[in-house]
Structure 1
Amino acid sequence: MTERKSSPGPDERWPSAWEAEPSPKPPRTATRARWILAGLITCVGAAFFVSAVRNGRADSALLFVALPVLLAATLSLVPARSTHGRTFVVTTIVLLLSAVVLHEGAICVVLAAPLVYAVVHGTAALIEFVKYSNRTYALLPLPLLLLGGVEGTSEQLRINPDQTTVVTRTVALTPEEVRERLSRGPVAAPARSVPLRLLGMPLPQRVTGDGLEPGDRWLFAYHGSAHGPGGHLLAEVDESGPDRLGFTFVEDTSITGRWITWQDAELRWRVVDAQHTEIRLTVGYRRGLDPSWYFGPLQDALMHSGGGHLLDMLALR
Structure 2
Amino acid sequence: MTQPNDDNISRWPPAVFPVLALAASGMVYRLLVSQHLEQTSLLFLGIPALLATLMAFRPRAKTVTGGIMKAMAIGLLLSGPFLGEGFICILMASPIFFLVGAVIGLIIDSCNRRQKPVVLPCLILLGLSPMSLEGAHPRLSLNREESVTVTRVVAAPANEVEAALAQSPDIHLPLPLFGRMGFPRPVEAHGAGLAPGARRTTHFAGGEGHPGDLVVQVEESRPGHVRFAVLSDQSKIAHWMDWESAEVDWSAADAGHTRVTWTLNFRRRLDPAWYFHPWERYAVGLAADYLIRSNATPARLR
TM-score (norm 2): 0.84
Equivalent position SS for 2:271: coil
Counterpart pick for 2:198 among 201, 216, 227: 216
Counterpart-to-counterpart distance in 1, 2:59 and 2:115: 17
Structure 2 equivalent of residue 73 of structure 1: 53
Corresponding position: 1:237 with 2:213: no
Structure 2 equivalent of residue 162 of structure 1: 145
Decide whether the 8 Å contact of 2:53 with 2:125 is kept in 1: no
Deviation string, structure 1 residues 212-247 (Cα, Å, up to 9, x no partner): 0111100110128xxx94111001001001010001
The Cα RMSD (Å) is 2.9
* The 10-residue stretch of structure 1 (81-90 or 277-286) with the greater mean CA deviation from structure 2: 81-90
Structure 1 equivalent of residue 6 of structure 2: 30
Counterpart-to-counterpart distance in 2, 1:239 and 1:102: 44
Moved over 6 A (4+): 38-44, 136-140
- CA distance 1:102–1:234, shift in 2 (3 Å): farther
Counterpart pick for 2:34 among 54, 72, 76: 54
**Counterpart code for 2:221:** S
Decide whether the 8 Å contact of 1:100 with 1:106 is kept in 2: no
Counterpart-to-counterpart distance in 1, 2:83 and 2:150: 31
Counterpart-to-counterpart distance in 1, 2:40 and 2:83: 13
Structure 2 equivalent of residue 173 of structure 1: 156
Counterpart-to-counterpart distance in 2, 1:273 and 1:48: 59
* The 10-residue stretch of structure 1 (261-270 or 156-165) with the greater mean CA deviation from structure 2: 156-165
- CA distance 1:142–1:91, shift in 2 (3 Å): same
- Give aligned pairs, total: 286
Q: Gapped runs of 5+ residues in structure 1?
A: 1-26
Equivalent position SS for 1:77: coil
- CA distance 1:81–1:144, shift in 2 (3 Å): closer
Structure 1 residue 138, shift from structure 2 partner: 7.9
Counterpart-to-counterpart distance in 2, 1:31 and 1:125: 24
Counterpart-to-counterpart distance in 2, 1:207 and 1:271: 28
Structure 2 equivalent of residue 110 of structure 1: 91
Percent of residue pairs bearing the same amino acid type? 29
Structure 2 equivalent of residue 63 of structure 1: 43
Deviation string, structure 1 residues 233-285 (Cα, Å, up to 9, x no partner): 00100100101000111111012111111111100112212221111111111
Deviation string, structure 1 residues 98-150 (Cα, Å, up to 9, x no partner): 33466575423211211111111211111122222135698776533221011
Corresponding position: 1:203 with 2:188: no
Counterpart-to-counterpart distance in 1, 2:227 and 2:271: 29
